[in-house]
Amino acid sequence: MPEMSVADEAELYLKMIADPGSEPGLYECLACFVSRRVEEVGCDGTLLWSQWFRDVKSPTASALEARLTRIRVYCDCHVTRNGYRMERRLLIRDLMTDELSEPDEMPDCAGVRRTSTKPCGNWERRPVNEWRPGRHE
């Protein structure tokens, strides 16, 4: 991935704080926040939004990147694709094919402690055998 210049980073930072949607909600969890931001502005191949979430909500959670990397999450779109998925009760069963799929609409965040960097009850850890290989898309 291309390195960002200091000017690019400053500009991005200004954009982030100017956009009210870029603030995580008081009880919004990491997974809901990151998936919301990736949907709105996309993933730039880094853990930008995850780190932003940490900086805003839980600046002392410095192990967050290590924890995410350990579950093979290397960028924001991986947080919900490889790391977490919505829990089964939120999956929709297709009556024709009997396949389960994730709902189009994200349910509201179920909420977590204010400084938590864990996903809320809407998400579960994706089992290793369901990890999709490959990289940031």
Tell me whether residue 29 or residue 68 sits nearer to Zn ion (CB atom): 29
Tell me whether residue 127 or residue 134 sits nearer to Zn ion (CB atom): 134
Supply the minimum distance, in Å, between the C-beta of residue 23 and Zn ion.
15
Binding site for Zn ion (CB under 5 A): 29, 32, 43, 75, 77, 109, 120, 136
Tell me whether residue 3 or residue 98 sits nearer to Zn ion (CB atom): 3
Supply the minimum distance, in Å, between the C-beta of residue 114 and Zn ion.
13
Q: What is the largest CA-CA distance in the chain?
A: 52
Supply the minimum distance, in Å, between the C-beta of residue 46 and Zn ion.
8
For the record, the structure tokens of 63 come out as 């192990």
Supply the minimum distance, in Å, between the C-beta of residue 136 and Zn ion.
3
Query: Nearest CA to 34 among 98, 92, 106?
Result: 106
Tell me whether residue 101 or residue 107 sits nearer to Zn ion (CB atom): 107
Alpha-carbon span 54 to 61, nearest angstrom: 7
User: What percentage of the chain's residues is helix, strand, coil (to nearest 5)?
Assistant: 45, 5, 50
> Cα–Cα–Cα angle for 31, 36, 40, nearest 5°?
150
